[in-house]
Amino acid sequence: MAIEIERKFLIDLQKIPPLKNGNIIQQGYVETKNSITVRARVSNEKAFLTLKGKNRGNLRSEFEYPIPLKDALEIIDELCEGLIIHKTRYLLSHAGHTWEIDIFEGDNKGLAIAEVELKSEMEIVKIPIWVTKEVTGEKKYNNSTLSKHPYLLWDRD
């Protein structure tokens, strides 16, 4: 079984170094039960089908397979029932780790999240100055949740 170990953070875009060579990503989610995620993703004319298990802290099972672009677009169009997010992803190196910086568009515009994948739960990560808050495990920041409850509709008192 493949295991994903990642931490997720909110970021201050004013403090981050210039971002270059972003990949535009469209991903759609098939409605499931029990916090299981089924996703079709299109990025740079490549497509993937991903299945993810329930979150257990910063761990979850993950299975990802390349699929034909045409199939991914049809899955998003026919099976995702509007549960779609759009974002641009940038890769940024910091202190020995590659950080994925996601800048969301559409109904999630204004949200920027950084993720860092780890080799083990005990791995030490040096937090960059542009990180403002850790949101690992906060379900509302999961992409699948953002497809149902977008950032622009959040009550932010």
Q: Are 134 and 9 within 8 A, CB to CB?
A: yes
pTM: 0.93
Average pLDDT of the residues in 136-157: 91
Average pLDDT of the residues in 113-129: 95
pLDDT digits (tens, 9 = 90+) for 23-66: 999 999 999 988 899 999 999 999 999 999 988 877 889 999 99
Q: Give the pLDDT score at 82.
A: 93
Residue 71 has pLDDT above 80, yes or no: yes
Q: Give the pLDDT score at 35.
A: 83
Give the catalytic positions in this structure.
Answer: 29
Residue 34 CA, chain-centre distance (Å), reads: 19
Q: In the chain, where are the structural domains located?
A: 3-153
| Strand 46-52, strand 59-67: pairing | antiparallel
Give the C-alpha separation, 76 to 80, whole Å: 5
CATH ID of 3-153, from 2.40.320.10, 2.60.120.10, 3.40.50.10800, 1.20.20.10 = 2.40.320.10
CA angle 79, 53, 45 (to 5 degrees): 50
